[in-house]
Structure 1
């Protein structure tokens, strides 16, 4: 880390939040090892996908904030420096264990506008994917702002404005474009160029994407953050932001109105609770598929004597369990306020019935959904972001936040700096039609007014007895589920250190397409063995981005995704 940054961190801890950002250089050089942080007294930890966000979280902690404050502040910061993945124009799921022992699931998922219809993306009898991915019709009503405010009300120590203003200052002063952000800008530049307000931020005066090392400043986003800090969520849902969005939608063929914003509500859900390897897992319920299918996959694997399997057999079993789970996901899962999701999906007896169909010798043919009483580039890119935070008072937070695919709908509402999501693509535009991640669905996930689309986001809390011992989650579309499963499997079943568990070569199998994605780091003999069992392999450089914190021997240990750190270092 640069010496000036160490000096800055030490000095700024003594400053008020209203002044600390004034000491920033014009644009911070990106630290290389500050993705996972523990406070100086060891009482609060945070792990994010970006060192700026983790740094701001620790500044908030230095002012008396707890894990809730840290997580909220980091989420707003990620909306500045990681806006291609998340931001206030999108949604989030928050799983929190409060110091008083309550475990709550806050659903801040985007919602379809009141004028949305079942076939709104069907043209001449066929779903048009461009309509659900780019532009006005792709946008759902954002929920992140209201969800974060709810989390603050549950036990944060600082004021709403104190959690936002540091990120406003960061947006104003600017930051250095990372290698990962530069790559995403190149990939999405043609679509960003379609919207003047988006191009004005993310493309230079020659309409070229900002390169690695460039300085990116976002004055409009800074102003939006300051207005939000001063006026509260009302600014976003009933005030000027809602009015500007309605005006732009009227001019560009969109459906969203100011009334849609004012009608948005978060939902308090009941977590999915399961048992694995002597631990209790809390996952997020529908409209997330994450909690359900993380539990289902682990239940299937638990039916096998995993400790007796070889590495190739273990990967084979994980892949087969994933296939069955994702087949069930395609048929059964949707917003539980609109469709009945069978509770039996997480039942261990149902898992054992699936395990009986799996052999160690070869892949299972003709898998379909059970009866439990893609675009590859999109699939493997890191979309969404995850924030893990914990403190020794007993607050444990897992937030997965998203605008869906890179830069969401590619729309920035003029004058706001806010990227709007394209979460409408996560509905089933038509039965059997794949979304941007290659996922298909049924009428359970059909578009309907005020409905929330299905998600793979999997914020997870792990307990040993009555005590929380881990918070984790991931980014990466449907690979979120497979990442969380593999981290839990290696850490809880195989007792690997958390960092080692997260560094293991990852796989992903989502039933459709029927491919087994494997990371290039997987040893060649294991790849060959999997092919011999009938798996059709697709080798991918690196997969996903997980964040986690565990409590071990009384100490908080945060771990950030090594793949992201490696990528941003240019390796």
Structure 2
């Protein structure tokens, strides 16, 4: 880590060498009312209601975002987390910010740690059990955001999650189904069932160990997680199970989030604010928007979700994923050519090779210069502050490992590294040396928390889970709402299609709504293969029109959204 990054992270977290809270709470004062209401779009009802409660208590968008993040760790354990990490894009008083609280590889991690004697990746080693877990960043990240921009006391914003864990909630049918599917993959080799196996539809589910952990965090900040009892419990968990893990007390104490410069770009009268590396999402989104503009001739008059539209999107997407596989990684470890990848002439040159009718041969799509189980939420307040936050434990229920006595799941984020260059991860995405495993390195991500503003005022706040599908989900919903002028609900509900270079010429469709027969036939005529995918995002979007926030939960999952005029 560079000296600059180290200084930024120390300031952002507010920890001294002893790990105690040593800086006073700071934040932003209540400003003039810019919007007619505040709003929260989240992955489920409990978290949405908690976010609104915080706004109505006088909190701002950051306070609400932090409260939602901790609430989802309770009510959405398959993806909400304190044992994972993520990215937060913010617009505060009209200015863009970005917070990287991605997990890091433990100090003992090695590039070949998942390979067998023959040099092949050991099946399941990157996704199941202790060895799959990176050092978690969520608690440090949420604290860093709150310390810098929050308005309410820290204990006040963590408090609702404590009550949710201690008093319990009724798990919905979808949550139980996802748990059962995850248990089939993870349960034999982990302790997942001992913590979540009692969930029953219609019965209150409580998590007392998690409540105790959250209570300690509320009282002592991140030092309660990265040092002391909880840290000791995490490390003790590493020695249990089928395969031993690597996270040490030193790894936990050394973890710091990083404030980075957000990626910004002009597009159709909006300023697009998105995620820089180690996310690939922001670069990919800006490349996609730029290439579509550069080939407006091909898109002119093309019907939404027609065979021609889907083909053209696939042509753009395969070029983006080719660049992603080679150039992108943790900028503290590799030189990421951000400015070159986003250069207007480069984007135009990439767009010029798009084929009008048939897919470009995959072997000819090379990098042009010489990486679902996540959750997202969006928040705006009446002062015009906005937060777009995507965080993850990677797969459903992460590594399947629950920290005994602490009650939270650990991630399997190490799978987002390139365990072996050219070998696909669980989302089918390949990577190269830039994303190879190194101690303390952050794995490449597709998370794309994005905010669009006009004159510094939020116009749209959006993001999604979905692994590599995140990029294409955000891209398509943006086009639906702003290019095709769809109402927000229609923009979110519309069928989505996905292509990512490999598998070759494969278009993925929605699991619950297969491609219509005539569309499938036409795409197959163009040599595409159509394949249903198990998951295609869970968009959490807020759109602002004439100062009025509009919300539309995604019907694909159990998303919820609320508006407050308080």
Quote the Cα distance in structure 1 between the aligned partners of 2:36 and 2:194: 42
* Of 407, 410, 414, the match for 1:417: 407
How many residue pairs match? The answer is 515
Quote the Cα distance in structure 2 between the aligned partners of 1:462 and 1:408: 31
Quote the Cα distance in structure 1 between the aligned partners of 2:209 and 2:154: 20
Asked whether the equivalents of residues 389 and 471 of structure 1 are also in contact (C-alpha less than 8 Å), the reply is: yes
Deviation at 1:191, TM superposition (A): 4.9
- Number of the residue aligned with 1:539: 532
Q: Are 2:257 and 1:261 equivalent residues in the alignment?
A: no
Quote the Cα distance in structure 2 between the aligned partners of 1:542 and 1:522: 15
- Number of the residue aligned with 1:376: none
Asked whether the equivalents of residues 323 and 367 of structure 1 are also in contact (C-alpha less than 8 Å), the reply is: no
- Number of the residue aligned with 2:187: 193
Deviation at 1:188, TM superposition (A): 1.8
Higher RCO (CA-CA < 8 Å; seq separation 6+): 2
Quote the Cα distance in structure 2 between the aligned partners of 1:358 and 1:230: 56
Q: Are 2:335 and 1:335 equivalent residues in the alignment?
A: no
- Number of the residue aligned with 2:446: 456
CA deviation digits over 1:321-368, x for unaligned, max 9? 111111111111111111122222222322222222222211111243
- Number of the residue aligned with 1:146: 140
Residue segments in structure 2 that go unaligned for 5+ positions in a row: 1-32, 561-566
- Number of the residue aligned with 1:74: 68
- Number of the residue aligned with 2:359: 363
Quote the Cα distance in structure 2 between the aligned partners of 1:401 and 1:542: 17
Q: State the secondary structure of the residue aligned to 1:126.
A: coil
Q: State the secondary structure of the residue aligned to 1:216.
A: coil
Paired residues for 1:200-211 under 5 Å? 200-204=194-198, 210-211=199-200
Paired residues for 1:460-471 under 5 Å? 460-471=450-461
Paired residues for 1:425-440 under 5 Å? 425-440=415-430
| Cα distance, 1:250–1:429 mapped onto 2, change above 3 Å | same
Deviation at 1:467, TM superposition (A): 2.9
| Cα distance, 1:111–1:528 mapped onto 2, change above 3 Å | same
Deviation at 1:537, TM superposition (A): 0.9
Asked whether the equivalents of residues 396 and 468 of structure 1 are also in contact (C-alpha less than 8 Å), the reply is: yes
Deviation at 1:527, TM superposition (A): 2.6
Q: State the secondary structure of the residue aligned to 1:327.
A: helix
Quote the Cα distance in structure 2 between the aligned partners of 1:244 and 1:565: 32
Q: State the secondary structure of the residue aligned to 2:285.
A: helix
- Number of the residue aligned with 1:299: 290
Paired residues for 1:270-289 under 5 Å? 270-289=261-280
Quote the Cα distance in structure 2 between the aligned partners of 1:340 and 1:516: 32
Asked whether the equivalents of residues 114 and 121 of structure 2 are also in contact (C-alpha less than 8 Å), the reply is: yes
Asked whether the equivalents of residues 192 and 199 of structure 1 are also in contact (C-alpha less than 8 Å), the reply is: no
Deviation at 1:196, TM superposition (A): 6.8
Asked whether the equivalents of residues 327 and 367 of structure 1 are also in contact (C-alpha less than 8 Å), the reply is: no
Deviation at 1:397, TM superposition (A): 0.3
Quote the Cα distance in structure 2 between the aligned partners of 1:112 and 1:350: 33
Quote the Cα distance in structure 2 between the aligned partners of 1:436 and 1:359: 29
Quote the Cα distance in structure 1 between the aligned partners of 2:428 and 2:421: 13
RMSD of Structure 2 on Structure 1 (CA): 2.0
Q: Are 2:503 and 1:506 equivalent residues in the alignment?
A: no
Deviation at 1:49, TM superposition (A): 1.0
Quote the Cα distance in structure 2 between the aligned partners of 1:188 and 1:490: 33
Asked whether the equivalents of residues 190 and 400 of structure 2 are also in contact (C-alpha less than 8 Å), the reply is: no
Q: Structure 1 residues 223-232 or 490-499, which shifts more? A: 490-499
TM-score, length of structure 2 as denominator length: 0.87
CA deviation digits over 1:500-539, x for unaligned, max 9? 1111110010112221102225443333222222211113
Q: Structure 1 residues 539-548 or 88-97, which shifts more? A: 539-548
Quote the Cα distance in structure 1 between the aligned partners of 2:158 and 2:183: 28
- Number of the residue aligned with 1:126: 120
Quote the Cα distance in structure 1 between the aligned partners of 2:270 and 2:552: 20
Quote the Cα distance in structure 1 between the aligned partners of 2:187 and 2:516: 41
* Of 457, 464, 472, the match for 1:474: 464
Quote the Cα distance in structure 1 between the aligned partners of 2:185 and 2:220: 33
Asked whether the equivalents of residues 460 and 473 of structure 1 are also in contact (C-alpha less than 8 Å), the reply is: yes
* Of 243, 248, 255, the match for 2:232: 243
Q: State the secondary structure of the residue aligned to 1:564.
A: coil
CA deviation digits over 1:387-437, x for unaligned, max 9? 100012121100001000011111111100010001001000011111111
TM-score, length of structure 1 as denominator length: 0.86
Paired residues for 1:81-100 under 5 Å? 81-99=75-93
Q: State the secondary structure of the residue aligned to 2:373.
A: coil
Q: Structure 1 residues 103-112 or 271-280, which shifts more? A: 271-280
Asked whether the equivalents of residues 128 and 186 of structure 2 are also in contact (C-alpha less than 8 Å), the reply is: no
Q: Are 2:210 and 1:221 equivalent residues in the alignment?
A: yes
Quote the Cα distance in structure 1 between the aligned partners of 2:184 and 2:508: 28
Deviation at 1:247, TM superposition (A): 2.2
Deviation at 1:70, TM superposition (A): 1.1
Quote the Cα distance in structure 2 between the aligned partners of 1:466 and 1:152: 21
- Number of the residue aligned with 2:29: none
Q: Structure 1 residues 41-50 or 57-66, which shifts more? A: 41-50
Deviation at 1:219, TM superposition (A): 1.0
Deviation at 1:95, TM superposition (A): 0.5
* Of 388, 393, 397, the match for 1:407: 397
| Cα distance, 1:433–1:248 mapped onto 2, change above 3 Å | same
Residue segments in structure 1 that go unaligned for 5+ positions in a row: 1-38, 205-209, 374-378
Deviation at 1:199, TM superposition (A): 2.1
Quote the Cα distance in structure 2 between the aligned partners of 1:406 and 1:214: 22
